Amino acid sequence: MKKILCTVLAFSLLMLCSCSEMSMPGTEQSVSSPEESLPSEPHQRQSGVFPNVNISTADWSSVFQRVGKSGLFVTEILGNYYFCLQSEDVPGQGIESTELLFDAATSKAISLSYPANFLRWTVGSGSSVVLQGRYLYEWRSYTSQFEESDEHDVKLTRVDGNTGKVEVVDEVKQVYPFVYLCSIDEERFLSYCVSQAPSDKAEYATLTVATVYHSDGTKQEIVREKYENDASWSNSEGILIERFAVKDGEIYGFGRRRISNEYKFFLYHYDETGKLLDTQAVSGFENIIGDEQPLELILIGDFIAYRTWESLTGFISKRTDNGTELVVGSGVDTDFFFAISDNYIFFIERNINDDATIKDEACPLYAIEVESGKIKAIDFPVPLETPYHVDFKALSNGDILVTYCDDGKYDPLKLIQFILPSEKLEVLFEAAE
């Protein structure tokens, strides 16, 4: 199955594979975030915050492992295969891309097998999970004519990493097409959606619904939270969950409340049946994120790693007895990627200036040891002559996938990717000063 990758999507792969919520292939329609609209001034990015630590040297000779080939963009690993996009420039249509499986050992590509007469997808959240190291789940909208429908036809698909077979696991019709996923364990994942609902107090209320799906195909709705402001927008009632996250197998909702004209942030701890076990105030978080909304959010230890919706600004914060402290933050002179393993938060400054030129100075790789909170940095000698940093992410098996272009410029058809095995990265940082 093919889909058109517009310029916005190509750049979204650069950032998070999630700009899809602004504009997506196959349609020029812009879809707004269903979360609460927050009155704010235009976002003004401040100077970036980055740790000041000594930079160690390391032997990277066996760490960088080239993956894929020209025209392929690896996005995930499923068993012995990589899940990829194979792209080509079609005259008059732009970049057209096909999803497939790729065996790095044999360079064999396996086409995906879709149900008969299956429509190409048009918009999605960019959120997916992998179960049992084999099955890739993702919600996408398959509505072909937006102007003829007030609702999106949203389907949950499963790709079998052994056979390439694509199945529709579930499907719904809803106004907002963006559904997000969090892995709970090898057999279950959390699926949730944030949408608007009628309100008798304000223009609208916000409704968050979360469902647990099992690998055997069963599902159970566990959370349905409604949130609304009063007529003056000075106070709110209910629970607004902007993002869910799973930490150590436990389910947490993250969101804000309007209290006396100010937003305060909270973590809501649920059990697997949806019972609210605990509510924790995340004091000081409002001073960091301001009026922006989290687009991606990961909880690990005492740390919160997230990127915001409005400006795609990244942050790593730490919860302490004295409130929430900013550890790393993007700014006008700093943009960075982060990736999470079991024991470390890896992050690296992107080596691209605002004018798309390459920075003169080298960008080391940093790691926060989650248990101790200690930050280390080591040099990062990318084996390319003029590397243009495109992406940096963790795969479902814990390995880190880094993406570059060479020749000092971005070209979506000439992406170069490397796998950094997580166990080798941890060895390097354990030896670093």
In tens, the pLDDT along 116-144 reads: 999 889 899 999 999 999 999 999 999 86
Q: What is the mean pLDDT of the chain?
A: 87
CA–CA distance, 157 with 128 (Å, rounded to integer): 10
Q: Where residue 167 falls among pLDDT bands split at 50, 70, 90?
A: very high
| Percentage of residues in the chain having pLDDT higher than 90 | 68
pLDDT at 112: 96
**What's the order of all strands across the beta sheet hosting 250-259?**
243-247, 250-259, 262-270, 276-281
Average pLDDT over residues 365-384: 96
Q: Which residues fall within 8 angstroms of residue 202, CB to CB, at 6 or more apart?
A: 228, 229, 230, 231, 233
Q: How many CA atoms lie within 13 A of 220 on its CB side?
A: 9
Q: Quickly list DSSP for 302-338.
A: TEEEEEETTT--EEEEEEETTEEEEEEE-BTTB-EEE
**What's the order of all strands across the beta sheet hosting 375-378?**
55-56, 375-378, 365-369, 344-349, 336-340
Q: Which residues fall within 8 angstroms of residue 65, CB to CB, at 6 or more apart?
A: 418, 419, 420, 421
3-state secondary structure of 119: coil
Amino acid 398 reads G
Q: Where residue 40 falls among pLDDT bands split at 50, 70, 90?
A: very low
Q: Where residue 45 falls among pLDDT bands split at 50, 70, 90?
A: low
pTM of the model: 0.88
Q: Of 301, 267, 300, which Cα lies nearest the Cα of 283?
A: 267
Q: Of 338, 430, 401, which Cα lies nearest the Cα of 63?
A: 401
Give 5 or 85, the one with higher predicted confidence.
85
3-state secondary structure of 111: strand
pLDDT(77) > 70: yes
Q: Using an 8 Å Cβ cutoff, are 220 and 272 in contact?
A: no
Our CA angle for 25, 29, 34, nearest 5°, is 105
CA–CA distance, 176 with 194 (Å, rounded to integer): 8
Residue 200: CB atoms within 10 Å: 7
Q: Using an 8 Å Cβ cutoff, are 36 and 206 in contact?
A: yes
CB environment 235-264: b (16+ within 10 A), e (fewer) = ebeebbbbbbbbbeeebbbbbbbbeeeebb
Average pLDDT over residues 69-84: 92
Report in angstroms the alpha-carbon separations of 267 from 149, 225, 227, 299: 36, 14, 15, 10
pLDDT at 145: 55
